Amino acid sequence: MLRLRWGLSALSCGLSAPGSGRTAGLSVLRMAEELRAAVASQAKRLNSSSEVVERIEENGHQNKRLKRDADEEDGEDQNKRLPKRKIVLLMAYSGKGYHGMQRNVGSSQFKTIEDDLVSALVQSGCIPENHGEDMKKMSFQRCARTDKGVSAAGQIVSLKVRLIDDILEKINNHLPSHIRILGLKRVTGGFNSKNKCDARTYSYMLPTFAFAHKDHDVQEEVYRLDKETLERVNKLLACYKGTHNFHNFTSQKGPRDPSAKRYIMEMYCGEPFVRENIEFAVIKVKGQSFMMHQIRKMIGLVIAIVKGYAAESIIERSWGEEKVDVPKAPGLGLVLERVHFEKYNRRFGNDGLHEPLEWTEEEEKIAVFKEQYIYPTIINTEREEKSMANWLSTLSIHDFNSSAVEMQANTKTSKNSSDLEGSDGSDGDSD
């Protein structure tokens, strides 16, 4: 190329030289035309070569994209070919900002835990998209129906999924950090997490100033629960053990409704501890099943007694047919701790095909999750919104000596005060 340009330059110089003849000039012009044609031809070949290189590079990138797309499609096809198996998932979640666990298909107004879970199952390839729209197709069942704002450290759901590789990691990758799948186990084909559950254990975390007597002016951050008061609290909580008629501890159940009878295995309050300068304690309760509002009302009534608003005899009176005004404690501190499958474990846990539904190996992960997401949410929300302190101020409007006639007259007042207390977080009427 440089030589051609040099030749053209030389020709130009030759044409401008003095004394050149006509014949020589024509000869030089022909040479110049030939050189220009050669230059144009070579430039065309170079451009063509460049286009070929670009096409090769473009085709290479396109082939890579096509290969990547094909690999993804092959992976999706491979997932679709996997057989579905019945499993249980161990879930932990912070319920703040959610309207409970159970999904309301077709309603996007109130977000639930199951909305995020089903979305993650679809995106990870565990279930087909149409199964997310109709949860019956994957035989989905949750063990406990936690309500608005309630958290869980040991929720169990049963469903049929494709057992893809790294399934827990892939599901968690599509979940927010405050919802985690901590474990997975294969179960029998007919397993139903709700019906096979023998018992449920809940905890209720509350600031201990809730037990301060109403006649004592206490400062929330200064109050510390003494040994005698803790012993009295546990004596009252123990009254709930056994089978009782809890019709006064729920709504829409009469005293003669057989389903109002529930069996409580244990209920106690643990030693207090200090977080963010406020002393807290945790109440644990284990029962076969719980009705809507039941746990919060059980705790609310004990608080009313310890604070001096109600007599201890009101607990016994609440078992009878009389309508008793039972206050409902805030839902903030309620946590589903674990669910129990003792009969299932005895029958299938050691059959050589299935594992017992126990989560000893996951206990550390459960504890870490509670420390990172559940306890801080309860503590910070209590400090900011003062849900317990505000609720305590409503106890004085309850009439713990009301007769059935007086209760009917005060129904409107009770409903208005209930609206301020927040939503419940037990199983609902799960039987």
Distance CA 240, CA 266 (A): 8
- Encode 246-267: b = buried (16+ Cβ within 10 Å), e = exposed: bbbbbeebeeeeeebebebeeb
As a residue count, the chain comes to 431
Name the catalytic one among 147, 325, 424, 427.
147
Kindly state the tokens that stand for 291.
């009705």
Taking each helix axis from N to C end, the angle separating 227-238 and 294-306, rounded to the nearest 10 degrees, works out to: 140
DSSP 185: E
> Which amino acid does the sequence have at 347?
R
Task: Specify whether 147 is catalytic.
Answer: yes
Distance CA 11, CA 17 (A): 10
Q: Three-state SS string across 238-255, please? A: HCCCEEEECHHHCCCCCC
What is the three-class DSSP state of 84? strand
DSSP 83: P
Q: How far is CA 129 from CA 72, 110, 169, 173, 381, in A?
A: 17, 21, 19, 18, 36
DSSP 138: G
Rg, Å, the chain Cα set: 37
Strands 273-275 and 278-287: what pairing?
antiparallel
202 known ligand binder: yes
List, as residue ranges, the binding site for substrate: 202
List, as residue ranges, the binding site: 202
Instruction: Enumerate the active-site residues.
Output: 147
